[in-house]
Amino acid sequence: MRNLIGGVTLFATGVVVGGLLMQPGAAQQVSNPGLRLNHVGIYVKDFDESMRFYTQVLGLREAFTIKDKDGKPTLAYLQMTRDTFLELAPANAQRPAGLSHIGIWPANLNAAVTTLRERGLKVDDPRTGSTQTSITSVMDPNGVRLELVDFLPGSLPRKAMDDWK
């Protein structure tokens, strides 16, 4: 039952975000700083089982996996299309299984940060993350973290997108 609820939550969040990003009427009324949905991050209770499910059952391609000093996976990007990913990370006591964040790729990260700040949102300056991606976050009214990303040359997602066939 918990998996069903998690799946429904992830699906509903994707529909809402997709609707907001793709709604033509809203796009004409409020300027959108070139936002695109890039990835959805989820915390998974069993990393190996989830990797098997998403790669072998659903057929997603493993773009890359980051491991800690002990060789345990901390993050995996699974590629759905050239520039759309599912991000998996192991759940733990501080990060329960379920939605972690929604990755949004603005046309210009710095301009998006400026625009969002002008609209009253608290947005930290971008930093370089473990995937060598420029990244910052903002929270939506529901407590969902929206991760704003820019793929620096040589970043792991950029390499995966450039290698997409």
pLDDT in tens, 8-19: 445 445 544 454
Categorize the per-residue pLDDT at 129 as very low, low, confident or very high, splitting at 50, 70 and 90: confident
Q: For domain 2-163, say whether CATH 3.90.1150.10 is its number.
A: no
What are the structural domain ranges in the chain?
2-163
Span 70-77, average pLDDT: 96
Give me the residue label for tokens 């990244």.
135
- Tell me how far apart the alpha carbons of residues 153 and 17 are, in angstroms, rounded to a whole number: 27
Phi and psi (nearest 5°) for 149? Answer: -130, 155
Residue 60 has pLDDT above 50, yes or no: yes
Higher pLDDT, 7 or 156: 156
Percentage of the chain exceeding pLDDT 90: 72
Provide, for the chain, the percentages of residues in helix, strand and coil under a 3-state DSSP scheme, each rounded to the nearest 5. Answer: 35, 35, 30
pLDDT at residue 4, rounded to an integer: 47
Categorize the per-residue pLDDT at 103 as very low, low, confident or very high, splitting at 50, 70 and 90: very high
Q: What is the pTM of this model?
A: 0.78
